[in-house]
Amino acid sequence: MTDDREALFAKFLDYLHSEPTPPEYWGEPPESANAFDTYQMVAEWTALRHELKQQGKLWRSTQDTLQQALAVTHAQQEQLEASQKQALAQFESQQEKLLKELLEIVDALDRACSYWQEELELSSATSNPKPPRSTSFWEKLKERFGGNYTQFKESEKSPTPESFREIIASHQQGVELIRRSLLEILRQRRVVPIATEGKPFDSQTMYAVGREARTDITDNTVIQEVVRGYLWGDRILREAQVIVATRETKE
Per residue of the chain (251 residues), what is the pLDDT tens digit? 666 777 777 777 777 667 666 666 566 655 555 555 677 788 888 888 888 888 888 999 999 999 999 999 999 999 999 999 999 999 999 999 999 999 999 999 988 888 888 887 777 766 555 555 544 544 554 554 454 444 444 444 455 667 767 877 887 888 889 999 999 999 999 999 999 999 999 999 999 999 999 888 889 999 999 999 999 999 999 999 999 999 765 54
Four-way CATH pick for 190-251: 2.30.22.10, 3.40.190.10, 2.120.10.30, 2.70.210.12: 2.30.22.10
The residues, any chain, with a CB within 8 Å of residue 165's CB and separated by 6 or more, are: 120, 123, 124, 129
| DSSP β-bridge partners for residue 197 | none
How far apart are alpha carbons 224 and 222 in whole angstroms? 6
How far apart are alpha carbons 91 and 82 in whole angstroms? 14
CA-only gyration radius of the chain, Å: 51
**pTM of the predicted protein model:** 0.58
Q: For 246, list phi and psi in degrees, rounded to 5.
A: -140, 150
Amino acid identity of residue 240, one-letter, is A
Residues 101, 105, 111: CA angle, nearest 5 degrees: 140
Task: Identify the helix (H) or strand (E) that includes residue 96.
Answer: helix 38-125
Parallel, antiparallel, or unpaired for β 235-238 and 230-232?
A: antiparallel
